[in-house]
Structure 1
Amino acid sequence: MINRSLFPAVVRIGVLTAIGTGLLLLPGCDGGGTSPEPPSPPTSVQATTQDGSVSLTWDGGADASGYNVYRSTSPFSGAPGTPVNGDTPLGQPTLTDDAVDTGTRYYYRVTAVGEGGESDPSAEVSVRPFPSPPPRPEHIL
């Protein structure tokens, strides 16, 4: 018989053995430990354009092990979608996005990835890539 007064307000499973009463802990019952928190969102996201591409840089913080970059052609609302960098988080706080059309405005957000999962997104930045300038004219009279 299990004496319930020994375990107030805690759900435990008692096991009767030949020696006496034991305690069975199920897998995943780690005694109330806490899970790690996601990293802080990246800050100071900067977007620049040159030669028909977009270069992004940001401050990631010490607790991030990688980053995801999200792109949209309209301001973000709700879920961010699929990362530009695919399934593998970036190891450095920088990305060059060559898959853009010149003249189209793009919106970007960055998240940090760590042991505790993915952070909230950074502040949104927008940029409109422009084409490379034409070559310098030669032989002008």
Structure 2
Amino acid sequence: MITVIEFPKCAFPHAHIIIKVVPEPPLELLDTITRAEFPRNDPALRQKVEKNMLHGRDHLTQPGSRCNRDGWCIYGFPQRTQPSTTIDEHMRIHWRRHEEEDMWAVPYCPALLSLADCHFHFDVVYTASVQLPL
């Protein structure tokens, strides 16, 4: 595990934590660990996602937007909808997103978000050892 804690002058202290899980979970289990869609059957978790884990829909029109580069979102929002989580040829994960509202959800870990009512930037990285479907 690697941990770095930053104390920026213009923001709250925050931590960057990297945890390597061995063996890597299979692709089919990723949606149980991390999601990028609204919970359908958990109102409390849904409220936390709405409060903490949405990319702003007006992000390209806000003055000083950090993600706006020449009229395009550097994070790719809104994301596309798709029926299942996939990994592309660059080993980037494209999360399952069923409905239009899910296009704005930032990936989150339901267990962490349920534990703490705050924003977590939660990401999963796969190594080249993963066998991609043909």
Instruction: Quickly name the TM-score band, shorter chain normalised.
Output: under 0.3
- Give the structure with the larger strand fraction: 1
Decide which structure has the larger Cα Rg and report it: 1
Q: TM-score, normalised by structure 1?
A: 0.25
- When the two structures are superposed, what TM-score results if normalisation uses the length of structure 2? 0.26
Structure showing the higher helix proportion among its residues? 2
